[in-house]
Amino acid sequence: MKPTKFLLSAAAAAITAGAASAEDMTLVSWGGAYQASQQKAYAEPYMEMHPDVNIVWDESSAEAVAKLRAMNEAGNITWDVVDVVASDAIRLCDEGLAMEIDPDTQLAPAPDGTPASEDFGDLLVSDCFIPQIVYSTTFGYRTDLVGDTPPDDICDVFDLEAYPGKRSLEKRPINNMEWALLCDGVPKDEVYDVLATDEGQDRALKKLDTIKDSVVWWSAGADTPQLLADGEVVMGSTYNGRLFSLIEEQKQPVAMLWDAQVFDLDGWIIPAGLSDERKQRALDFIYFATDTQRLADQAKYISYGPARKSSAPLVGKHAELGIDMAPHMPTDPNNAKNTFLYNYEFWADYRDDIDAKFQAWLAQ
């Protein structure tokens, strides 16, 4: 029975050793290069300043809404700060699962004293949402598979003659429907009006029908980079930061097609119903992690634009590659010649209907 005793005592020692160290604070994020940038820009400096706090990551942002609902129901909220996209933050806020934040008292002002509410401006799309980055969903293409005239127009995605081969699109209606309508001749400012009607939705699906056989559908942000690296697809949509890492860090023969990139926001929420002690700690972290310098620091590691106006001038070079990050930002004037603003309210209202239609169309 000796080995058993040894194992037991070793395990007990390991557990108590873990318990005796700093208090765990669980941050929820998306994994990958994005989470790594948060780790370096926010978590590491914060833990250095607060040795009593130990930050633990949970890569569950994709299921944040469902999981927070379940945690709330079970009365067992294990998360302290959660990174979500703006639309999820709006849903969580409406359902009372996220805590409301007063930007001017609970967030850091800009270095020149401008209050946070002005510094973030209209990016504060919900009372519970603390914006962190502006990212875009856009296309990358294989430079070696597109011939002599690389695509420079979003409608090239729908042009199977000029650019034969597979393309990868996200397995959800958002963005795809808008792009389809744009390329079916709908002016940019009328896209959501058209998409609100049944005929408009059918029209978008009909346009998507023209390339359906050549589409590989993705559901995780890492899929398109993998497909592009494999040469399985000629072009594909994904988050611009993933493409940046594919092109600049992995040195793959891929280039960006910025046309009609769709801007979206990502940021933090604090779950409702934390104990006072945990709430204070979470607020303290948020205050630190969303100040002007920290947001600018994050852009050293990944090509997402900081959400504060005051951070933009501080964006410098990539921490390891030493290249200027500004030209890789989705907000850079050269990249943002033709952008598309994602309409939260529209999708909040129509998402369920169009989702059902889209899934039915996929299954046909």
- Interaction site with other proteins (CB under 8 A): 4, 7-8, 11, 14-16, 18-19, 24, 26, 28, 30-33, 35, 56-60, 62, 70, 73-76, 78-79, 220-223, 225-226, 229-230, 250
Q: CB nearer to other proteins: give 23 or 202.
A: 23
Tell the smallest beta-carbon distance from residue 59 to other proteins (Å): 4
Residue of 261, 271, 265, 264 whose CA lies nearest to 340:
261
Tell the smallest beta-carbon distance from residue 15 to other proteins (Å): 6
Q: Can you tell me the distance from the alpha carbon of 133 to that of 29, in angstroms, rounded to the nearest whole number?
A: 13
Within the chain, strands assigned E span: 23-28, 53-58, 81-85, 130-142, 167-170, 215-218, 235-239, 254-269, 305-306, 339-341
Q: CB nearer to other proteins: give 238 or 292.
A: 238
* Residues 217 and 237: beta-carbon distance below 8 Å: no
Tell the smallest beta-carbon distance from residue 222 to other proteins (Å): 4
Tell the smallest beta-carbon distance from residue 211 to other proteins (Å): 21
Could you count the other beta carbons within 10 Å of the beta carbon of residue 23?
Answer: 11
Q: CB nearer to other proteins: give 76 or 105.
A: 76
Tell the smallest beta-carbon distance from residue 154 to other proteins (Å): 26
Cα dist from 278 to 59, 79, 84, 274, whole Å: 20, 10, 19, 6
Within its chain, how far is the Cα of 182 from the centroid?
Answer: 23
Tell the smallest beta-carbon distance from residue 258 to other proteins (Å): 23
Tell the smallest beta-carbon distance from residue 230 to other proteins (Å): 5
CA max distance for the chain:
77
Q: CB nearer to other proteins: give 63 or 104.
A: 63
Q: CB nearer to other proteins: give 73 or 161.
A: 73
Q: CB nearer to other proteins: give 280 or 338.
A: 280
Tokens of 74: 């079970």
Q: CB nearer to other proteins: give 78 or 117.
A: 78
With a CB cutoff of 8 Å and minimum separation 6, the contacts of 283 are 106, 270
Tokens of 304: 């997402």
Coil, strand or helix at 25: strand
Tell the smallest beta-carbon distance from residue 321 to other proteins (Å): 15
Helices then strands, counting H and E runs in the chain, come out as 15, 10
Q: CB nearer to other proteins: give 120 or 218.
A: 218
Q: Can you tell me the distance from the alpha carbon of 166 to that of 160, in angstroms, rounded to the nearest whole number?
A: 9
